C-alpha cells in the first residue's frame, strides 16, 4: 500500500520572503526613477516605492514571527535587501548632489558601517556567535530611512514645503537627520566591532 505524504510548501515563497523579494525588486525601480534626467516629478513615485519598501522591512519580520515562517533564505536575504536599498539610494542621491559637501561624510560613514557589520556578522556567524539588535540600532535604522525619504523628495519636496533658505526645507531636514543617523551608526557599529575584537582575541590568545 502506498502511503500518501502531505504536500510540503516551499519556504521560499512564504509571505515574509515574498515581501523581501518585493524590497529587492524595488531597488532598481527607485534607482531608475532617481536617475530620470531633470524631472523632479519622478521623485514622488521614487519616494512612494521607497516608503512601501521600508514598510515591508518591518512586516516581513513581523509575519515571520507571528506565523513561525522564519527560514534560512529569509535570514540571508533580509539584511541584503536592506543594505542594497539604503546603499543604492545614498549613491544616487550623492550622484545628483542632493547629498553634497560635508554631508557626503555622513553617507560614507553609513556605507562603511554596513560593509563592516556585514563582514563581522559573517565572521561571528562562523563562530556561532550572535549579536542581538539593540534598541538604538532599531532607532538608527528608522531614522536613516526617514532621512533618505526626505532626501529622495529633495527638490520636489523643497518646492512643496517652501523655504526662504538657500537649501530647501525637505533637503535640509533630510541632511540633518542623515547626520544624526550617521552618529548613531558609529555608536551601534562599535558594538559589533567590540564583539568581533573580543572573539578574535579569544581565538588568538591575545
How many Å apart are CA 48 and CA 200, to the nearest integer?
A: 43
The CB density around residue 57, as the number of other CB atoms within 10 Å, is 19
How many Å apart are CA 18 and CA 81, to the nearest integer?
A: 12
Enumerate residues 6+ apart whose C-beta is below 8 A from 46. 30, 33, 34, 152
pLDDT of 180 reads 95
Q: Encode pLDDT of 100-126 as tens digits.
A: 999 999 999 999 988 887 777 776 666
> pTM, whole model, 2 decimals?
0.83
CA 49 to chain centre: 14
List, for the chain, all residue ranges whose pLDDT scores fall below the cut of 70.
1-11, 37-39, 123-133, 162-167, 195-196, 199-206
As given in the structure block, the three cell numbers for residue 204 are 588568538
Burial of 38 (0-12, 13-18, 19+ CB in 10 A): exposed
Amino acid at each position: 500500500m502506498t502511503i500518501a505524504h502531505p504536500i510540503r510548501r516551499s519556504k521560499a515563497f512564504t509571505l515574509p520572503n515574498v515581501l523581501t523579494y518585493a524590497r529587492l525588486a524595488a531597488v532598481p525601480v527607485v534607482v531608475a526613477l532617481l536617475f530620470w534626467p531633470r524631472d523632479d516629478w519622478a521623485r514622488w513615485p521614487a519616494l512612494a516605492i521607497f516608503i512601501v519598501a521600508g514598510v515591508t522591512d518591518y512586516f516581513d519580520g513581523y509575519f515571520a514571527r507571528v506565523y513561525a515562517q522564519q527560514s534560512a533564505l529569509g535570514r540571508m536575504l533580509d539584511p541584503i535587501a536592506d543594505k542594497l536599498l539604503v546603499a543604492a539610494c545614498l549613491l544616487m542621491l550623492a550622484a545628483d548632489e542632493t547629498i553634497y559637501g560635508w554631508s557626503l561624510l555622513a553617507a560614507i560613514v553609513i556605507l562603511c558601517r554596513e560593509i563592516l557589520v556585514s563582514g563581522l556578522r559573517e565572521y561571528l556567524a562562523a563562530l556561532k556567535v550572535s549579536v542581538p539588535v539593540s534598541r538604538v540600532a532599531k532607532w538608527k535604522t528608522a531614522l536613516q530611512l526617514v532621512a533618505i525619504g526626505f532626501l529622495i523628495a529633495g527638490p520636489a519636496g523643497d518646492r512643496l514645503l517652501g523655504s526662504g533658505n538657500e537649501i530647501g526645507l525637505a533637503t535640509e531636514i533630510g541632511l540633518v537627520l542623515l547626520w544624526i543617523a550617521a552618529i548613531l551608526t558609529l555608536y551601534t557599529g562599535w558594538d559589533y566591532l567590540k564583539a568581533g575584537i573580543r572573539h578574535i582575541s579569544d581565538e588568538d590568545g591575545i
